[in-house]
Chains A and B, each alone.
Chain A
Amino acid sequence: MLKTANQKAWYFVVPVVVLVAFNALIPLMTVVNYSVQETFGDNVFFWEGVKWFEEVLNSDRFHDSFLRQLAFTGMILVIEVPLGIGVALSMPRKGPWVSVCLVLMALPLLIPWNVVGAMWNIFALPDIGLLGRSINALGIDYNFTQQPESAWMTTVLMDVWHWTSLVVLLAYAGLCSIPDAYYQAAKIDGASAWSVFWRIQLPKLKRVLTIAILLRFMDSFMIYTEPFVLTGGGPGNTTTFLSIDLVKIALGQFDLGPAAAMSLIYFLVVLLVCWVFYTLMMRHEGQ
């Protein structure tokens, strides 16, 4: 049978191409452009090759903020994921309390990020904040504006408060989708509560938890607003995470070349970690 060649269908693709070009491709290529050149303004560029990449990769400043970032992301994942699963497990599965719990859980997610930072800033102030004063009243010397440990603790606590809900809601949705037959079969088989968790609930939660961990990894690895409002990256540089450092370099010092190189490295790290993690988690699926 003869088919009429009709290329008009391409017109339908044009809106998507334009959209992707403007929201992803063009901005990204601009960054690539800056990362391999030097500019003194007036749109005059000089070719620099991989100089900025070498500079960033060899700088102690980048190493430090990268390690701080890894430590922070690691800490919040270790706290938020088990805590989220625990809360989801203890939430009621039916009855009038379900909606109450869901709304309570969703609340932190609805608060704008800079408001979260401001709230915790005031909440944790050692002289007037409820949390700060209470801790000091217990005899513990706590001042997040001056002590690195206190600043870290507060930042981590704030993130846990803000984002554990996301893990809870995802895990809860996952738990609700496990058919009753599994629990019934487990009862018939004489499985203990631990076996039910380890053999049924956790394996069935694998997919949603993979998504939850990926989302929390990406979000926390790129965290900016909340610590910027809470500590401004201080005291000193102790809570200067990658994004905060990047903004300092790009907009504080106007070192556009190094900032662009750092952005690309940053982007590739996030992409690589997500890909490796997802591939590992999904390797047994669909066998």
Chain B
Amino acid sequence: MAKISLEQVKHSYLAQPAKSEDYAVKQVDAVWQDGGAYALLGPSGCGKTTLLNIISGLLVPSHGRVLFNDTDVTKVPTIERQIAQVFQFPVVYDTMTVFDNLAFPLRNRGIAEAKVRDRVMEIAGMLDLESSLRRRASGLTMDGKQKISLGRGLVRDDVNVIMFDEPLTVIDPHLKWRLRSKLKELHKRLGLTMIYVTHDQTEALTFADQVVVMYDGTVVQVGTPVELFECPNHTFVGHFIGSPGMNILPCELDNGTVRCAGHAVNTASSGRPRSDVTKTEIGVRPEFVRFDDHGFPVHIVKVDDLGRYRIVEVRYADQRVKMIVEEDAAIPSGSARISFDPAATRIYADGWVVN
């Protein structure tokens, strides 16, 4: 068990990286506390898997250090790091039985056969694999194989961290739900550090205490699901988390007053962006936009009824704004006026929040 810290980690797959685009991971400083349940969330290709492989030692970063507690392990090989990792696609050893597959990581470390048996039976019970323990792993379905992969990750009890790289992509939806709850339950019971990589926000928000959002090779925000929802650090977080995502609208600053298409808007940001930023925007979630006779004029474009609430899309100038409206609230037709809740509206300068 250990606290894991990444210090100024950068990685490029090229031999001679020159520009910032050459880096898969641009600059990451992050600390994963011992026993935490983390989700690493981000779109495909943002460097999540690279970061994971750096932690597990499958990759040595081009720059920076990896610390376990306070020991530098940047160049320590995978086997000495005591790490478990589950990959996106199932990896099973075809010629072995399910039992031997699950026992493999333990036997390789010379653990006594009696203990191997206990651990394997326990994990198999948890993953409903008991009935197929004697079967050859190659004959199983995709679900079954991925359960074996998960099992091999969970079977060791001496690991510093278990990392899951989008492990449920290939699993049936109803089983997905159950496995995710199992993982969460297991986290509570064993107190192991777990890092769960995903590009699915529901998965991230249900699994993790802390969500690390990555975008384009950098960590843009670390926080609880509530923090990510209420105070996104970056327009990407606002847009990526929440359904529908945050409205990001261009604005101008006029002597400290924020204006959207000429209308003054009150925000929670008390500071003002530096003068060298190229793009200023305001961000407000659809939950905090409402009809208001004193607001600014918009046209209603479309109303989607989602059952419990409705999503109304309105337009002003060439901007579109989404708002969430209660099921029984009246929606004016044609033109209307809207306003934003000042406490939930923030200024973003070049993508980053201004507090």
A and B assemble together: yes
A-side residues, CB < 8 A to B, are 179, 181-182, 184-185, 187-192, 195, 199-200, 203-204, 284, 287
**B residues neighboring A (CB under 8 Å):** 53, 56-58, 77-79, 83-85, 87-89, 91, 93-96, 104-105, 108-109, 136, 138-139, 149, 152-153
- A48 CA to B250 CA, complexed, in Å: 99
Asked if A188 and B93 sit within 8 Å, CB to CB, the answer is no
CB-based contact B96/A287 at 8 Å: no
Contacts of A200 in B (CB 8 A): 93
User: How far in angstroms is the closest Cβ of chain A from B329?
Assistant: 50
Shortest beta-carbon distance from A158 to chain B in Å = 35
Are B136 and A287 touching (Cβ within 8 A)?
A: yes
**Contact sample, A vs B, 20 pairs, CB 8 Å cutoff:** A181-B87, A181-B88, A184-B53, A184-B58, A184-B87, A185-B91, A185-B152, A187-B57, A187-B78, A188-B56, A188-B78, A188-B85, A189-B108, A190-B79, A191-B108, A199-B93, A199-B95, A200-B93, A203-B95, A287-B138
* Known pairs A184-B85, A185-B85, A190-B105 / 12 extra A-B pairs, C-beta < 8 Å: A182-B91, A184-B53, A184-B58, A187-B79, A188-B56, A188-B85, A189-B105, A190-B108, A191-B108, A192-B108, A199-B95, A203-B94
CB distance from B320 to the nearest CB of A (A): 41
- Cβ contacts under 8 Å, B94 to chain A: 203-204
B136 touches A187 (CB 8 A): no
Which residues of B lie under 8 Å from residue A187 when comparing CB positions?
Answer: 57-58, 77-79
A190 CA to B108 CA, complexed, in Å: 6
A184 to B108, CA, bound (A): 15
User: In the bound complex, what is the Cα–Cα distance between A164 and B249 (angstroms)?
Assistant: 67
Q: How far is the CA of A281 from the CA of B109 in the complex (A)?
A: 32
How many whole Å from B271's CB to the nearest CB in chain A? 45
Assess A181 versus B79: contact at CB under 8 Å? Given A189-B104, A203-B94, A203-B95. no
Q: Which residues of A contact B93 (CB under 8 A)?
A: 199-200, 203
Tell me which of B95, B139, B152 contacts A189 (CB under 8 A): B152
Provide the residues of chain A in CB contact with B83, threshold 8 Å: 188
Contact B108 A195 (CB under 8 A): yes
Bound-state CA distance A189–B78 (Å) is 9
- Contact status A191-B104, CB under 8 Å: yes
Complex Cα–Cα for A200 and B104 (A)? 13
A188-B84 CB under 8 A given contacts A181-B91, A284-B136: yes
Nearest Cβ on chain A to B202's Cβ, whole angstroms: 25
> Bound state CA distance, A284 and B138, in angstroms?
9
Which residues of chain B have C-beta atoms less than 8 A from A184's C-beta? 53, 56, 58, 85, 87
B104 neighbours in A (Cβ, 8 Å): 189, 191, 199
A200 to chain B, nearest CB (A): 7
Minimum CB–CB distance from A12 to chain B (whole Å) comes to 39
Q: In the complex, A179→B92 CA distance in Å?
A: 12
In the assembled complex, the CB of B77 is this many whole angstroms from the nearest CB of chain A, namely 8
Report the 6 A-B pairs with minimum CB-CB distance, sorted nearest first.
Answer: A190-B108, A185-B91, A287-B139, A189-B105, A187-B78, A181-B87
Q: Which residue of A lies closest to B153 (CB)?
A: A188
Chain A residue numbers with a CB within 8 Å of B53 are 184
Question: Roughly how many angstroms separate A121 CA and B84 CA in the complex, as a whole number?
Answer: 58
Contacts of B91 in A (CB 8 A): 181-182, 185
Contact B87 A199 (CB under 8 A): no
Q: Give the Cβ gap from A192 to chain B, nearest Cβ, in Å.
A: 7
Note all chain B residues with C-beta closer than 8 A to A181: 87-89, 91
Residues of A within 8 A of B85 (CB): 184-185, 188
Task: Please report the C-alpha to C-alpha distance between residue A187 and residue B79 in the assembled complex, in whole angstroms.
Answer: 6
Residues of B within 8 A of A185 (CB): 85, 87, 91, 149, 152
- Distance A190 CA – B57 CA, assembled complex (angstroms): 12
Q: What's the least CB distance linking A204 to chain B, in Å?
A: 8
Which residues on the B side are within 8 Å of A199 (C-beta)? 93, 95-96, 104
Using CB atoms, name the residue of chain B closest to A199. Answer: B93
Query: How many angstroms from the CA of A187 to the CA of B78 in the assembled complex?
Result: 6
A88 to B191, CA, bound (A): 45
* Contacting residues, chain A, for B78 (C-beta < 8 A): 187-188
